[in-house]
Structures are given as C-alpha cells and as structure tokens.
Amino acid sequence: MTGSPRLFPESLWTPLKMSPFCCWGLCVAFLALLCCPGSGEEAFEVHVSPEQPMVKHGGSQVINCSTNCTKPENGGLETSLDKIVLQDSPQWKLFMIFNVSQNSSMRCFFWCSRKQGSKSLNVGLYYPPKQVLLKLQPTRVAVGSPFTIECRVPSVAPLEGLTVTLLRGSEVLHSQTFEGTALSPQEAMVTYSAEAQLEDSSHNFSCQAKMDLRTRGVKVVDSVSDSQALEVFEPVQDNWMVIIVVVSVLLLFVTSVLLCFVFGQQGNQRRRGIYRVQAAWMRLRGTHPAQPA
C-alpha cells in the first residue's frame, strides 16, 4: 500500500544499515567474552608471611595469611601441626603453630567469588647453638712454641648463618662462617694454631657461636663457651730445672761414695779387731796367725 510503513526491507538480501561505532562495540564485547569468560568474578591473590619460616625444635611460630580480595567468603590455614587463631579479619588471619617437632608443609587459602586461592609454605626446624666447647692444647707452653685452639658446637642446624669466633679477651683471633642448608643436627668445629706470647698468659681464651637466621624470620641466637687460661713460660726456666736436677744427681752420687767409704772403713776396723783377737788366742797356744789381707 502506498504510504504505509515497511516492517521488513524490500528484500531479505538487502543488508541493514549500521553505524561503524556500533560494529566496533560489538567486536570489543565479543573479545571480552572470549578472553574473560568469568569477568564477573573477582581475580585475587593469597599471601603468607613469613614465606619460609624456621622454628626452633619444639617451639612456635606466628603465620599471617592474607588476601587482596575485598570481600572474601572464607579463609584458613591447613596444617597437621597444632595451631590457634590469634586474630581474625575478613582479609587476613593470624595463626600460631606450636609444639613443632618436625619439618612440615602447610597451606593458606581464601574463597572469593566462589573461587579458591591458596599459597603453600614449608616450615623447617632449626637447632640453636646451646653448647659451645673450647679446648686449648697444650695448656702450658713455652714462649714461641705453637699451641692450638679448638672450638666445637655440637647438635646445631642449619649451618647456614652460623659464625664461630675465637677470642683472646675481647680480641678476635679467628672467625669462620659456615654454609649448608641441611636441617639435621650436626657438629661444627673450628681449629686455630698460633705461637705463644708472654701476654697470652694475661688473657682468657673463649669461643662464641652466633646463628643469624633473620632472613628466615628468626632472631639472632648466640652462645659463649667457658673461658680458659693459657700458661706461658720462658724457656730459661727449663734450663734452671735441668741444672737443679743435675746438681741433685751429683749430690746423690757424692753422698753414695762417702757412705761406701765410711762403711768400708768400718769393715776394715772390724776385720782388724778380729785379727787381734785371733792373734792373742794363737799366742796363748804357741802358734802365729796368718796376716790379714
């Protein structure tokens, strides 16, 4: 009909006229659906602090689990260790693990927009330097002669961050930093040799073991051995001792000779007395006794 509006185009093959801006909008929306099918769900991360905790054998550690999700639905810490919740908020939770007696792994998790995010971490044990043993060998030495200082730190782990320092009074004689990430307890030992000086007698020797694991969330732990003294003497003192010993031997020898002479004289006198008795007896009998030798 003339003048009536058309509900359909004259031909189904006639394309609809569209704005170029409309085409670009449809393309962008289509690409967004392909790249971000769950764009309605919020992307989020889970964080944990410290990331590589170290705990003293039998000790405890605070673990902080957090997320950047604005409205998390739930969260927690999965672990086989004993734990308690210290503080709790929607975006972070503070836990304490305690009675830690073995190396273990755990996981912090949060739910956000029906999706779960998590962060795993490993908890390692450390054994601090409880005992430090110092040994001087020998403990009495002549000036200029060598002596050895030995320091042992038993049952310590890890060796990473352990420094053993040998001291003469407050002076550092030698220092050694160990390396090694093994978590099983072992012994660390340091030896140092020096020549004895007279002033060594006026100082005490000691050994300090320091474990620095601050990068693993552990405070600095140190321990010091008992102090020991070194007796240093002049070699001339030994010469006097030799002289005294030689003189003592000579006096003993002279004394022995004198005693032998005295006893010999007494023996001769005894033999002469016997001869006189025999001579008197023989004269009574009219015979002559034999002369003594």
19 contact partners, CB below 8 Å, separation of at least 6: none
pLDDT digits (tens, 9 = 90+) for 48-80: 998 888 899 899 999 999 999 999 999 999 999
Helix (H, G, I), strand (E, B) or coil at 266: helix
Q: What is the mean pLDDT of residues 25-32?
A: 45
Q: Is the pLDDT of residue 81 over 90?
A: yes
Q: Which residue has the higher pLDDT, 42 or 271?
A: 271
pLDDT at 1 over 50: no
Instruction: At 283, list the tokens.
Output: 């004269």
Model pTM?
Answer: 0.58
Q: Average per-residue pLDDT in the chain?
A: 82
Question: For 86-140, what is each residue's pLDDT tens digit?
Answer: 999 999 999 999 999 988 899 999 999 999 999 999 998 999 999 999 999 999 9
Residue 233: burial class (beta carbons within 10 Å; 0-12, 13-18, 19+)? middle
In three-state secondary structure terms, 264 is helix
CB 64 within 8 A of CB 76: no
Average of per-residue pLDDT across 265-290 = 70
Which tens digit of pLDDT belongs to each residue from 171-204? 999 999 998 888 889 999 999 999 999 999 989 9
In terms of DSSP bridges, do strands 133-137 and 92-98 run parallel, antiparallel, or are they unpaired?
unpaired
